[in-house]
Structure 1
């Protein structure tokens, strides 16, 4: 049991460490109303991992704020919206109700910050695999995107720039 717990903790640490900035996949772009979703990617998981993560950026080119309120995928039992918060000097993951996408800004879901948490994986995510993710926005509606799975040693391809909840004016 201790070995399983250790393996799960190690996989989680690697998945969300700053080293993850070096991970990525080919650029994909999707438009939903005034939202532009770019560069979705995930990384392969260990064979014993029950969870994975998804990353992307969302640019709101409109004049009204929007919110990512849900996500789903047949590649996972369920998908949660997560962030990392400092708690007593320790960085911890927390589920969030929604991810704000302010008008005129880009929100980046990246390792160490906001991300999609792919929970209860029925099988490991494998490099080269493409997983389908449905994203639900409060105002813009629903869209389905393809999320390539990259090897942990892959070049970031422009993904994962910076740390934390990166919101930059465009």
Structure 2
């Protein structure tokens, strides 16, 4: 009887000592997807959205059938000059933290657009992550709200 009680106590302690590990597949929620309309004669535009990952993840690429090329970009200031460039290693998504891609900051660039984008159009985007499954969304074309 003593051995049985001791075994039960040890099993209970072992179960309590396990570290909390995320269960289930990684997911990324997407909100507020918006792409700017293109001015006449331009074949490039920026898109913005908010990503929230269930587990630590990374946005590694973006694709769209309306563009020949799509990249994840960052904005930075160097020597008083604003610079924009591709995030070659993707965009880090901390678990449970909303990460906004917004005007003046990180954003998606669509280049080599096959036709102009007008207000009200819908732009299909495929977001590819390091861990989560790809997410297909439709971004509305319109002007982003003015920065406060």
> Does structure 1 residue 139 correspond to structure 2 residue 131?
yes
Match of 2:61 in 1: 70
Give the drift of 1:47.
1.6
Q: Which has the larger radius of gyration?
A: 2
Unaligned runs of 5+ in 2: 1-24
Query: C-alpha deviations, 1:41-83, integer Å up to 9, x for none?
Result: 01111121121011000012x2x31000000001111100101
Unaligned runs of 5+ in 1: 1-31, 163-170
Distance in 2, matches of 1:50 and 1:145, equals: 21
Distance in 1, matches of 2:130 and 2:73, equals: 17
> Does structure 1 residue 149 correspond to structure 2 residue 141?
yes
Give the drift of 1:139.
0.2
Match of 2:110 in 1: 118
- Relative to the length of structure 2, the TM-score reads 0.77
Give the drift of 1:143.
1.3
Match of 2:119 in 1: 127
For the aligned residue pairs, the C-alpha RMSD in angstroms reads 1.8
- Relative to the length of structure 1, the TM-score reads 0.68
Give the drift of 1:34.
3.1
Contact 2:67 2:114 in 1 (8 A): yes
- Partner of 2:113: helix, strand, or coil? coil
Match of 2:39 in 1: 46
Q: How does 1:82-121 map to 2 (within 5 A)?
A: 82-97=73-88, 98-121=90-113
- In the comparison of the two structures, how many residue pairs are matched? 123
